[in-house]
Amino acid sequence: MLRAIMTNREVLRFRLAGRATAWAAVFLLVGCSAVFVAPYDETTDRLLTDLYVRTETALLQAEAGQLTDKDQQQFFDNAIGTVRTLKARSSLFAKNEDEINALAELEKRYQNLRERGGPLRSSVATGLRATLLDLQQIQISKRRSETFTIGSKKSSS
């Protein structure tokens, strides 16, 4: 017949083994910092924010009738050039596929608006705005990830 009651020594040994396993898991998680996204890049974040501001400014000027056709074409030239620069920079970092894909989508949206012709309007730029916000969210996620990684590196040293 099996014993139903454990001795005090067996209970103590069982608890110590459980605590040791828990501490080993904690040290393993803190010691190993897997990186699932590319590192945060302040330059990319700054360029993206600047592009967002220039886009919103152009949309407001167009709505007010203050954006000439020449200014609109110059805006699209600059915006597409900035996006291509961002794509080239983003491709330098490993594990950056989400950002590269979002930038490719952003370039398509700028080109589609340019080819559409006519005055630039906020009502036709909702997809463009959404893609810009997606890219900003990616940057925020990278920054948070970097903060967590730096914090765990500091605590383990």
Interval 33-65: pLDDT, tens: 444 567 888 999 999 999 999 999 999 999 999
pLDDT (0 to 100) of residue 157: 45
pLDDT (0 to 100) of residue 16: 64
- In the chain, the amino acid numbered 110 is Y
Interval 96-124: pLDDT, tens: 999 999 999 999 999 999 999 888 888 88
- pTM for the whole structure: 0.70
